[in-house]
Amino acid sequence: MAILPIGYVVSVALLAFCTATAVIGPRSAHTTQSYWGFWVTYLINELPFLALYALAASTVLAFVQGDLAAPGGLVAFAVAVLTAAGLAVLIRRALATGAVLRRALADDAGIELPPSRRPWAHILLAPFAVRRRDVVRVGNIAYGDAGRRNLLDVYHHRDRPTGGSVLVYFHGGGFRMGHKRWEGRALLHHLAAQGWVCVSANYRLAPAHHFPDAHIDAKRVIAWVRSHAADHGGDPRTIIVSGSSAGAHLASMIALTPNDPAFQPGFESADTSVAAAIGLYGYYGRVAGPNSSPLDRLRAAPPFLFLHGDKDSLTLVEDTHEFVTRLREASTQPVVYAELPGAQHTFDLFYSLRYRQIIEAVTAFGAWLHTTQPHSDRPAV
């Protein structure tokens, strides 16, 4: 019996450090592309159940080997108990997401979020599985001439029903990295299984490209969808644009600059207006000089849905709150804002307890848009 069971101590210490950091939620003083707190917590914050499994397995193994009887083992066990309590805090915060979303949708747009149906087996045992057998992905369709940075994927139900709403999604990455198959895939598959047509697109990135190249690409995606959505069963009159982090910047700019020729060189006549916009843990500041931020483009806008975590250590929730406040002053359409308890950046990577509830809220938002704002009654924006 070792006085200090190294393997058990190291595994518990690592989980304890990540859990404690996630519970405390240290954040940068300003929006940044990288912060140590994010790298320590983004996995355990969305996957606390897996951390619990690892903690329990290592403790059982230490018990079987007799390591818990050692002085160092007893100390490590005490830390493991405290770590389990911290993971319970993370789970409780994730559970609270549904109530926050329900209240925001009801207060800001009069949307009733149906009771949550949580597929616990999927959440607890297969959070990395985001694909659906009833969904087809048509991959790597070119929408421009910039090679792999101008490719998009289309998701639709295998039976290809017609007339479904269209969701266009843009990935994050600080305009310097990212890919159309990283974030948001659980949402895209879920909506496609409900009869939507979903599009996820790459766009040009720095340092090879600069503003407004990515925004021009995003507009070109909307133009492509307008022309081709019906080929995949979608209704081109009902396009909702969404994105996470930098992708939320793109989505917001699209919604606030409909048919702006400055972002449509060579396709000025294309209709790039959208029915609504959804921003997930977005960055909304300037990416270059004046007029490169959604805050510079405030005007009458389509409905917006903003979701941001109060523990986000990369794009600060206070910045999103400022954008929401100013957009509400400028637009007559609903602006729904939900500040998610305990949520970190990139909460849409896995089929987690929190993200499942977010998927339900986005679905309800889309259904509300389709039923309460028919095409002929939508305001010109």
Looking at residue 381, its pLDDT comes to: 35
Same domain, 40 and 131: no
Which residues are annotated as catalytic?
A: 245, 312, 345
Residue 256 lies in a domain: yes
Looking at residue 374, its pLDDT comes to: 54
362, two tokens: 């986005």
Same domain, 87 and 167: no
Q: Which amino acid is at 107?
A: D
Q: Which amino acid is at 157?
A: H
Same domain, 62 and 210: no
Residue 359 lies in a domain: yes
Q: How far apart are CA 92 and CA 136, in angstroms?
A: 35
Looking at residue 375, its pLDDT comes to: 53
Q: How far apart are CA 350 and CA 215, in angstroms?
A: 27
218, two tokens: 């995003």
Residue 21 lies in a domain: yes
For the whole model, what pTM was predicted?
A: 0.94
Looking at residue 378, its pLDDT comes to: 43
Same domain, 270 and 370: yes
Same domain, 36 and 128: no
Same domain, 58 and 140: no
**What is the total count of domains within the chain?**
2
Same domain, 245 and 276: yes
Per-residue pLDDT of the chain (381 residues; tens, 9 = 90+): 556 788 899 999 999 999 999 999 999 988 998 999 999 999 999 999 999 999 999 999 999 998 888 888 899 999 999 999 999 999 999 999 999 999 999 999 999 998 878 899 999 999 999 999 999 999 999 999 999 999 999 999 999 898 899 999 999 999 999 999 999 999 999 999 999 999 999 999 999 999 999 999 999 999 999 999 999 999 999 999 999 999 999 999 999 999 999 999 999 999 999 999 999 999 999 999 899 999 999 999 999 999 999 999 999 999 999 999 999 999 999 999 999 999 999 999 999 999 999 999 999 999 999 887 655 344 333
Same domain, 137 and 255: yes
Looking at residue 371, its pLDDT comes to: 81
Same domain, 74 and 174: no
Looking at residue 380, its pLDDT comes to: 36
Residue 104 lies in a domain: no
Looking at residue 377, its pLDDT comes to: 41
Q: How far apart are CA 326 and CA 318, in angstroms?
A: 13
Question: Domain boundary at 34, 62, 95, which?
Answer: 95
Looking at residue 376, its pLDDT comes to: 39
Q: Which residue in 50, 4, 18, 25 sits closest to 351, CA to CA?
A: 50
Same domain, 70 and 31: yes
For 245: left if phi > 0, alpha if psi spans -120 to 50, otherwise beta; the answer is left
Find the distance separating the first CA and the last CA of the chain, reported in whole Å: 72
Same domain, 149 and 57: no
- What letters, b where the CB count within 10 A reaches 16 and e where it falls short, cover 142-175? ebbebeebbbbbbbbbeeeeeebbbbbbbbbbbb
Which residues span the domain enclosing 58? 6-95
